[in-house]
Amino acid sequence: MTKRLDVRTLLIMLAALTIGVSWAAFNLASTGGARNDATVRPLVWTVFATPAALFIGWIIARRQELGLAAFCCFCLYFFAFFVAQRIETLFFTLEEARASGHSFYFNTVLAIHTLAGAGLSLWRALAPATAPAEAG
């Protein structure tokens, strides 16, 4: 059985993913490597923008998948913290990570969001769309 690619879904979700990753990267770059009270908001956007944008794109592409989109995007947001932190500890000591402002961690979050978001987009584009239930 061959799967048919839903190009519309793929393009909408990838466009939303691109917007989210771009906004996250912009916010990370805007901190200039500083980590203080003034950079909290951009750093929050760094880890939140991509899953939020992907969720919006998913809902635009497939409104009937609201629950699945919410679950998957929340998991992407939530678990990226832990995965990125664990990867950082494999390469850097705590002192080195603090000295760099955890730049490796934040860049790893962006990479995880980009790769997982692209995977989710392709997964949904290859899955058949379900028709909304008829009122009756």
pLDDT tens, residue by residue, 23-71? 999 999 999 999 999 999 999 999 999 999 999 999 999 999 999 999 9
What is the residue extent of each domain of the chain? Answer: 7-123
First to last CA, the chain: 33
Is residue 134 predicted with pLDDT exceeding 60? no
**Inter-residue contact 58 to 65 (CB < 8 Å):** yes
According to the model, what pLDDT value does residue 3 have? 76
Q: Is the pLDDT score of 13 beyond 70?
A: yes
At 122 the pLDDT is 97
Question: pTM for the whole thing?
Answer: 0.90
What are the angstrom distances between the C-alpha of 71 and each of 52, 53, 75, 136?
Answer: 12, 14, 6, 28
pLDDT digits (tens, 9 = 90+) for 80-96: 999 999 999 999 999 99
Q: At what angle do helices 7-30 and 40-61 cross, to 10 degrees?
A: 170
Mean pLDDT of 101-121: 97
pLDDT for residue 131 is more than 80: no
